[in-house]
Structure 1
Amino acid sequence: MFGEPGDAQQKRPKQSWLLCSAVVLVWLVTSSAHAQTDDQLSLGEAISHAIARNPDLPIFDLRIRALDGRRMTASQLPAYELGLETEGIAGSGDQGVDTAEYTLSLSSILEMGGKRQARIGIVDAEYDLVEAERRADILDLLGRVTQTFISTLAIQEKIRVAAEAVDIAETAYETVKRRAQQGAAPEADVLRAKAALAEARIELANLTTNYQVQKANLAANWGEMSANYSRLHGDLFRFEATASFDNLFERIANNPNIEVFANEQRVREAEVQLAESLADSDIRWAIGARRPEATNDFAVVASASIPLFSGKRNRGQLRSALAAQEEVLYRKDNALLRLRARLFEAYQTRQQYLEAFRAMNKQIIPDLTEALRLTREGYERGRYSYLEWNAAQADLLSARHSLIETASSILLNQALIEQLTGQPLEAQ
């Protein structure tokens, strides 16, 4: 499956980039294709920055380099040993250097049962595991970037609404003040309108501050201390159609977190193979030459030895490896159950918010907009009080904020569905 360790490094990054391009939210990437200015940031650009410069991702390159070293070690044959043995160099009688015997030998181990290939197999499986973990981390990073982007885009939309609210409050204040000067409104209404204008400006200032914080949080995903853009480019009110829940659940197998279990399972299988290979006893051999000093003759010597009962002594390690292999299956099944529960919650929540959004957008917002128009006209004619006019303004503003929150919730759950399935909704 693998050649030299360098081959593995060259093949891996391509898989990660394919995953990245597959899970980008279609609704924002499409919108980012339109003309932009240099100070705007799209979701596609945010994701590209995060993948290219996120400080956590280089760790996987270091892990691959470590595996390269382990593979080099695992592929080595048993070491050769050079030995020198001396007999009769000292003792009683005529023992001494002139009567000693010297044996020079070369020895090593002949591995049996495919131990070398089993060691290499573990490292090769760990290459796949590290890459699966890399893809899972990239998917989590995409989820964080997308969620932060959506939340920041929602604040950006709220700022627009809040700025309009300030304009409305300024107009209302001027209108009430003019009517008070004409004797058609009490001075208390002027104070209420002035206070409402101050509250609208405070809300706008709070949102602006929160917006700057969120932009910095987004930029932190690619290692920047502050945002070098002024606005986000995207459509908060564009949603993709979704397939049925059963169809979405079938695609959970594409989630890189599930691939991690599949690759971990292969690592455990390789460990079982290594444990089984250890049951075959290795043969220690030696060959050399013996030279008695007394006669100056040479003799070839050879030896071989094999440990007994290796299979029995290895049962504990084999049992441990088999248990670890079975454990992965249980953890994978448990992970699938948790993913299904999260997918079901995200799917149902998104459907609920979609219905709420349609009702707000088609009925509630238009009705409240018309009610505000009629109330304002009625106030200027003396039919409604300022409190009624102000209440109509507050109702419409609250509804527009709820519309933004609802749209944000739809997109956040859409992003979660795409993260869980590993595919954009449009592709499903």
Structure 2
Amino acid sequence: MLPICTALRLSAWDRRNIRNRCFLFSLLLFIFSSGLNAAPGDSTITLAHAVQRSLSQNPSLQIFPYRYDALQGLAETAQLRPAYEVGFDAENVGGSGDFTGVSGAELTVALSSVIEMGDKRLARQGVVSHRRSLLDAHRQVESLALLGEVTRRYVDVLAAQAQVELAKEAAQLGNESLRIVQKRAAAGATPEAEVKRAQAAAEQAKLALFAEQQRLTYLKVALSALWGSTNPEFDKVEGDLFQFGEDVAFERLYAKVEKNPAIQIFAAQSRLKDAELRLAKTQSSADISWSVGVRRMQETDDTALVAGFSMPLFSAKRNAGAVSTALAEKNQVLAEREVMLLDLHTQLFRAFHNRKQAIVAVKALRTAIIPALEQALVETQAAYQRGRYGYLDYVSARQELLSARRTQIEAAAAALTYGAEIEQLTAEPLALTQYGEDDTFSGLPQ
């Protein structure tokens, strides 16, 4: 089965910077035989299609080309050499006595500039280059965050679809219960009050179905908003809500955390601070200002060549504060990286164990709890029709089954969501194999 990223058509930048990380995370939660390999129909959308549209149309990624253009402008400025200046100087003009008017004037035209010392130009270019690398890392983080949000909203729609189907089943059960109660009331085996209660329960089931349908409508709008659409162009999403990736040891997952683009940002920031530190150190080397020109003495009608240079004194001492600031900022980045790693460890630990708990719950509900409740409902309904159980027993059995199925949907959605969070934190997918090949449930962990 092909990974989803091979089915997408992205820009050259995306193929270079996102394919190896971003595409390999939450998408693989939904690998199933037909959904992701089939082209979406007019009313159905796949996760691959949702990701493709979001990456190409989401406004949050559209700002990066402008940021790259801004850096290009800075790069052009950084590579400029010091400008040449033309100066004009007039002396002994407009005085008194022999210096009245311009007869005794001395006029000088000079060309001047600065000789940069300490490779300042190269250091400026290095800073801009590392800013571009930092922007690349930020774009990866934004793309990964967008993919995570697409996956989470996709899971929400997938779970909402299952909740709508369950609500339809609940409405059908409500109507069936009403029919059974009416039949018993007609035979004089149950009071009319139970008919009213059954009617009320059937109407409440219809209201619950309507509420789930409205929630599904909203969630589809929220999903389509990620690619800038206010009107969903699909009726449903494809996917298997009850298929999970393989369970991977926590230590192996945490070993991959350093590959997270959020950590790579600190690496890029550290390199940028190194470049800024080098630039600050270059300021300790004093630049040499020079000038050369021609002077004309009006009184003698003679001309002479003039030249000069100057340089500031004690530049290294005056620049010591800037160097210290740049060094402190670099060390601050290293400290912030350690804080981020600790935070990612906490997030990964929470997502890892919550995912495991959700999968255990789904397995227990699917293999042990729901089958038992289904059989209990069949037996309770039969006993109620024979008059052995009361109406409350019958309704309780029905509600317990519906509640268990609702819990199963919620647990499955939680497992997929936590799996997506794990992949976003590690910037790598979980394995493609289904979680737990043995479908028999051996009981909750002791």
TM-score, normalised with respect to structure 1:
0.94
Residues 427/185 of structure 1: CA separation in 2 closer, same or farther (3 Å cut): closer
Q: Distance in 2 between matches of 1:25 and 1:10?
A: 20
Q: Distance in 2 between matches of 1:10 and 1:75?
A: 27
- 1:320 CA displacement: 0.7
Moved over 4 A (4+): 9-13
SS at match of 1:83: strand
Map of 1:38 onto structure 2? 42
- What root-mean-square deviation, in Å, do the aligned CA atoms of Structure 1 and Structure 2 show? 1.8
- More displaced stretch, 351-360 vs 72-81: 351-360
SS at match of 1:146: helix
CA shift digits 1:358-383 (9 cap, x unpaired): 11111001100111111112222222
SS at match of 2:89: strand
Contact map agreement 1:29 1:42 (CA 8 A) in 2: no
Give the 5 Å matches for 1:220-239: 220-239=225-244
Contact map agreement 2:29 2:416 (CA 8 A) in 1: no
Contact map agreement 2:31 2:432 (CA 8 A) in 1: no
Q: Distance in 1 between matches of 2:396 and 2:141?
A: 49
Map of 1:99 onto structure 2? 104
Could you tell me which of 107, 118, 126 is aligned with 2:123? Answer: 118
SS at match of 1:109: strand
Could you tell me which of 281, 284, 289 is aligned with 2:286? Answer: 281
Could you tell me which of 179, 182, 185 is aligned with 2:187? Answer: 182
CA shift digits 1:191-220 (9 cap, x unpaired): 221111111111101111111111111111
Could you tell me which of 58, 62, 65 is aligned with 1:58? Answer: 62
Map of 2:413 onto structure 1? 408
Q: Distance in 2 between matches of 1:326 and 1:148?
A: 39
Give the 5 Å matches for 1:5-404: 14-30=16-32, 31-34=35-38, 36-95=40-99, 96-404=101-409
SS at match of 2:103: helix
- 1:81 CA displacement: 0.5
- 1:132 CA displacement: 0.7
Q: Distance in 1 between matches of 2:235 and 2:265?
A: 38
- 1:10 CA displacement: 7.3
Q: Distance in 1 between matches of 2:174 and 2:251?
A: 49
Q: Distance in 1 between matches of 2:90 and 2:303?
A: 14
SS at match of 1:258: helix
Contact map agreement 1:20 1:138 (CA 8 A) in 2: yes
Contact map agreement 1:29 1:43 (CA 8 A) in 2: no
- More displaced stretch, 175-184 vs 402-411: 175-184
Map of 1:425 onto structure 2? 430
Residues 24/409 of structure 1: CA separation in 2 closer, same or farther (3 Å cut): closer
Aligned partner letter, 2:24: A
Q: Distance in 1 between matches of 2:310 and 2:389?
A: 107
Q: Distance in 2 between matches of 1:78 and 1:171?
A: 88
Q: Distance in 1 between matches of 2:166 and 2:398?
A: 12
Aligned partner letter, 1:46: A
Q: Distance in 2 between matches of 1:179 and 1:54?
A: 59
Q: Distance in 2 between matches of 1:12 and 1:166?
A: 47
Between Structure 1 and Structure 2, the one with more helix by share is 1
SS at match of 1:205: helix
Contact map agreement 1:129 1:260 (CA 8 A) in 2: yes
Q: Distance in 1 between matches of 2:184 and 2:403?
A: 27
SS at match of 1:57: helix
Provide structure 1 residue ranges, at least 5 long, that are not aligned to the other structure: 1-8
- More displaced stretch, 340-349 vs 369-378: 369-378
Q: Distance in 1 between matches of 2:406 and 2:225?
A: 27
